[in-house]
Amino acid sequence: MPPQKPDYKSPWKRFAVNISMVILLFISALFTGIYLNHQKSLEQELKSRAQALFSSLVVTRKWNALHGGVFVEKTPGMESNPYLDNPDIVAGNGKTYTKKNPALMTREISEIADKEGVFQFHITSLKPLNPNNAPDSFEQQALLRFAQGETESISKEESGGATYYRYMAPLFVEKPCLACHAAQGYQLGEVRGGISVRFNIENMERALVLNRLLLGLLFTVTLASFLAIVRRLVVALQKKLAVAEALIREMAITDDLTKLKNRRFLLTRFEEELDRATRYRHPLSCIFFDIDRFKQVNDTYGHEAGDTVLKTISATALEQCRQTDILGRYGGEEFLMILPETDQEQACSLAERLRQSIANRTSIADQDQIRVTATFGVACYSPETSTTRPDLSDFIKQADTAMLEAKTAGRNRVGIAP
């Protein structure tokens, strides 16, 4: 039975969660940045469009103001501007012409644009001559901010089930403006009013919603793909580390020269088998043995030959082991075999077979034939006849003492603890 793994929580779950959180934050930040950048680009596009419309109208108005207004032929149904003094003139050919000042021209252009469904203009001020130019709530708030030094105002509004973009910038008093507005007390350079631009952005809003959906889908697919890749990498890494960990664990309990279990493993397993034997009232035996005159082998043939002898003895002993037996190198040329479910007679029989196998085996080292023997000590614990559980060190000492007595009696034999 292999030694139990230490009881600790696996770090892999926490590692996977942490790296998943990092990926989630990274991808979220990436897609949030993409979304905000796209949103900013759309807002800038709308603002640029509104500014272009505003500038175009301001230039047109300026041209009109520089010429003191524009007279057009008064056709049937056309009304004169009631807020101008003497807006109509009669030409020498008898035709009547009426004056279109900048404000009136702006309103009429806005009406045409609105009818075409393109955009709307509205010129307004806090002191309009024409009641039709009175500001709405958005325009009034914008005009008040213009008086405080702001240069533009932007808003979105819902109307009739559609979304509209609104932009407004101030108009400043210039010399041509005083021809109509001097009586209102305006001074050069001050804010006289403003022009608001309004156009439908419903299609753009729908495109924005679709873009959010596509970004959300792309985010989900990207995140799932990254997590799947990371999962594969983590699983592969976990498997590699598990193999490395198993190798390290095996190395920690294995004797490097003989490839048998080492002393630490033997003592741990022996303690477990003692507990198990006591609990279930089953016999437990052990065999302690070492190689006879091993120092002489090293002195005569060298340590390399001695290592070969140790490996050969280990292989021979391993051949005699049963599946449930536990064999290991106790130290130097000493070996320990733990025999669960084994009484004294069975243990002595196994020790004798192993003694004969070693004695009859020839070890080859540097072209020299080296014959060695081993001496064995057998100890047995039987819960059925023992009143107390033996201490582990005492149990091993019994087998060791039996082995030493066998060596004193002539070596290459099996000694039995009483």
> How confident is the model at residue 105, as a pLDDT?
80
89-93, 380-384, 412-416: lowest mean pLDDT where?
89-93
Residue 187, domain member (yes or no): no
Place of tokens 């959010």: 212
Nearest to 187 by CA among 177, 197, 196, 195: 177
For the segment 104-116, what is each residue's pLDDT rounded down to a tens digit? 787 778 778 778 7
Give the β-pairing of 414-416 and 374-381. parallel
Interval 315-322 mean pLDDT:
93
When pLDDT is cut at 50, 70 and 90, the band that residue 72 belongs to is confident
DSSP labels for 193-261? EEEEEEEE-HHHHHHHHHHHHHHHHHHHHHHHHHHHHHHHHHHHHHHHHHHHHHHHHHHHTB-TTT-SB
Share of the chain above pLDDT 70, in %: 92
Residue 335, domain member (yes or no): yes
Whether residue 351 is predicted with pLDDT greater than 50 in this model: the reply is yes
27-36, 188-197, 304-313, 398-407: lowest mean pLDDT where?
188-197
Residue 332, domain member (yes or no): yes
Q: What's the structural domain count of the chain?
A: 1
> How confident is the model at residue 109, as a pLDDT?
81
Residue 46, domain member (yes or no): no
Interval 162-186 mean pLDDT:
71
Residue 53, domain member (yes or no): no
Maximum average pLDDT range among 188-192, 300-304, 406-410: 406-410
Q: Which residues of 114-130 are buried (b: 16+ CB within 10 A; e: fewer)?
A: eeeeebbbbbbbbebbe
Residue 226, domain member (yes or no): no
> How confident is the model at residue 61, as a pLDDT?
79
For the segment 283-304, what is each residue's pLDDT rounded down to a tens digit? 999 999 999 999 999 998 889 8
> How confident is the model at residue 3, as a pLDDT?
46
Q: Give the chain's count of helices (H) and strands (E).
A: 10, 14
When pLDDT is cut at 50, 70 and 90, the band that residue 1 belongs to is very low
Domain hosting residue 327, numbered range: 263-416
Whether residue 2 is predicted with pLDDT greater than 60 in this model: the reply is no
> How confident is the model at residue 100, as a pLDDT?
82
Read off the CATH number of the domain in which 370 is found: 3.30.70.270
Task: Report whether 309 contacts 373 (CB < 8 A).
Answer: no
Residue 398, domain member (yes or no): yes
Residue 193, domain member (yes or no): no
